[in-house]
Amino acid sequence: MGKKGGKRPVGGLAKGRKTRETIVDRAMRIAAREGLGALSIGPLAKELKMSKSGLFVHFGSKEKLEAAVLERAADIFFGQVLDRAEVVEAGIERLWGLCDFWLEFVENRVLPGGYFFGGAFFLHAGQDGFISRQLREVVREWLKALRQAVDEARHRGEIRIAVNAKRTAFELNSLLIGAQWSRLLDRVDYSHARSAILTKLKSIATEKIPPNAFDSVMAWRHYLGTRD
């Protein structure tokens, strides 16, 4: 006889969670490589050797699947970039760390296609609905981290107090997005992007940091490794 109340066995719940995670992971890889709009229930079910009805049991709609994919991608991005920066000393070092970790995230192809949220944001952020709100929130969280790092550096006397944190965050983000475009266009490495970021930091830094620390990425890393 079946259990009263129709309760599923614990093993069944664990298996269901594992299947859901497998679906989300495969869908995320497809979206990272081909774009969020490339997700389609039929081909995804076929790739996973599942029926469409079996896949729907776990999500119920394409939008819910997309939402789960965005959440997983955001967790990975924040873990690789924001969480790593949290353990870096506050101030200009953390601001550099955020940008450097962002570039490493793309260079190391943590997700296929590079910066997952670039294409998805351009495609969906201007629309209405839950997915667009979710995307905007991810990007806001990233820009907020940059703004906070600028503010911390200002209060520590490493960046001029008159510097506008919001505008600086926008400019740094623009450099990073531009680096991704250049990479896709010409297959160049990200050394130019790091040099451009150092040039930007030099333009807003105070005399507390010696100007020659910004001469190269090697000089900057040496300075960070030797300062008190």
Q: What is the pLDDT of residues 40-59, one digit of tens each?
A: 777 787 888 888 777 777 77
Q: Are 101 and 85 in contact (CB under 8 A)?
A: yes
Domains and CATH numbers, the chain: 63-226 (1.10.357.10)
Mention every residue, 6+ apart, whose C-beta is less than 8 A from residue 85.
94, 97, 98, 101, 145, 149
pTM score: 0.84
What is the percentage of the chain residues whose pLDDT exceeds 70?
83
Instruction: Convert 60-77 to b/e letters by CB count within 10 Å (16 or more is b).
Output: eeeeebbbbbbebbbebb
Mean pLDDT of 174-188: 74
Burial readout 169-201 (b: 16 or more C-beta within 10 A, e: otherwise): bebbbebbbebbeebeeeeeebeebbebbbebb
∠ Cα 89 162 82 (to 5°): 30
What is the pLDDT, as a whole number, of residue 51? 80
pLDDT digits (tens, 9 = 90+) for 126-166: 667 788 888 888 889 999 999 999 999 999 999 999 999 99
**Nearest one of 27, 44, 40 to 111, comparing CA atoms:** 27
**153 in Cβ contact with 92 (< 8 Å):** yes
Averaged pLDDT score across all residues of the chain: 84
pLDDT digits (tens, 9 = 90+) for 58-103: 777 888 888 888 899 899 999 999 999 999 999 999 999 999 999 9
- Structure-model confidence comparison of residues 186 and 167, the more confident one: 167
Confidence at residue 190, expressed as pLDDT on a 0 to 100 scale? 66
pLDDT at 195: 92
Kindly list the distances between the CA atom of residue 76 and the CA atoms of 30, 71, 211, in Å, as whole numbers in the listed order: 15, 9, 35
Judged by DSSP in three states, 205 sits in strand
Burial class (CB in 10 A: 0-12, 13-18, 19+), 18: exposed
Considering only CA atoms, which of 100, 105, 99 is closest in space to residue 117? Answer: 105
How many other CB atoms sit within 10 Å of the CB of residue 136? 14
> What phi and psi, each to the nearest 5 degrees, are found at residue 12?
-65, -40
